[in-house]
């Protein structure tokens, strides 16, 4: 009985789990216990595919940049060897007027330049990477083939100053072409960061190639 004479009213009964959870306070799952950490699932990062932009240089050779920062002297070496071969061939066919020999040197250089440019453009077209930018750049990169024919042609042009005959003109142009071949090969090795030993090797190898052309000229004439 309550003090006021009325019947005593009992409150709602509480289960032990509810009582424990109410008495535990926030952050607790039971009396005297810290809450267990909730482990969230770890989401793996989604890697989106990276589409690399194709370039014509990737088709040609590894390590080439879209715009070359260093000169490429391969065409100059090749053009010098080509000019020497033209001079030898012209000398074995007889006496050529100076103007004809000059035109033969420059014209052969232009034809071989066009052939190299076309070959590279054709490869780029097959790879689907041909554009006007590529055409201009490739044409510029292959230009040393033409430029290598200029010194022998100039040697022929100024040959009257030395009072040379037809064979003397041929030998002068041949020596100038071979000197250009050895010089461009050495410069190419130096620009590529080669050691002095490799530079000497490059020069000697190209000198031997030039001597083979000289021997060919002498052998054909005799």
Domain extents in the chain:
70-221
**Cβ 194 vs Cβ 210: under 8 Å:** no
Going by the DSSP 8-state scheme, the letter that residue 160 receives in this structure is G
Q: Name residue, tokens 């004439």.
A: 221
Round to the nearest angstrom and report the end-to-end CA distance of the chain: 147
Burial of 123 (0-12, 13-18, 19+ CB in 10 A): middle
- Which one has a higher pLDDT value, 98 or 107? 107
Output the DSSP codes for 199-211.
Answer: HHHHHHHHHHHHH
**Cβ 152 vs Cβ 210: under 8 Å:** no
**Cβ 83 vs Cβ 148: under 8 Å:** yes
Q: Is the dihedral of CA 158, 164, 169, 173 positive or negative?
A: negative
Which candidate, 195, 110, 118, places its Cα nearest to that of 153?
110
% of the chain beyond a pLDDT of 70: 64
Rounded CA-CA distance 158/152 in Å is 10
What are 102-160's pLDDT values in tens digits? 999 999 999 999 998 998 888 777 677 778 888 888 889 899 999 999 999 999 999 99
Mean pLDDT along residues 162-188: 91
**Cβ 65 vs Cβ 57: under 8 Å:** yes
């Amino acid at each position: 009985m309550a003090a006021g004479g009325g019947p005593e009213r009992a409150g709602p009964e509480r289960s032990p789990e509810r009582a424990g959870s109410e008495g535990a306070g926030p952050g607790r799952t039971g009396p005297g216990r810290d809450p267990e950490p909730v482990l969230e699932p770890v989401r793996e990062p989604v890697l989106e595919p990276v589409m690399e932009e194709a370039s014509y240089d990737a088709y040609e050779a590894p390590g080439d940049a879209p715009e070359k920062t260093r000169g490429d002297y391969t065409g100059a070496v090749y053009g010098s060897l080509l000019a020497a071969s033209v001079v030898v061939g012209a000398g074995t066919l007889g006496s050529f007027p100076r103007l004809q020999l000059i035109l033969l040197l420059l014209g052969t250089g232009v034809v071989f330049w066009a052939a190299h440019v076309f070959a590279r453009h054709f490869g780029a077209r097959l790879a689907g990477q041909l554009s006007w930018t590529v055409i201009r750049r490739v044409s510029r990169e292959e230009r040393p083939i033409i430029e290598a024919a200029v010194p022998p042609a100039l040697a022929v042009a100024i040959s009257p100053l030395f009072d040379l005959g037809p064979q003397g003109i041929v030998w002068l142009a041949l020596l100038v072409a071979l000197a250009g071949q050895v010089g461009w090969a050495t410069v190419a090795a130096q620009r590529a960061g080669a050691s002095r030993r490799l530079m000497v090797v490059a020069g000697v190898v190209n000198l031997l190639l030039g001597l083979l052309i000289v021997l060919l000229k002498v052998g054909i004439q005799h």
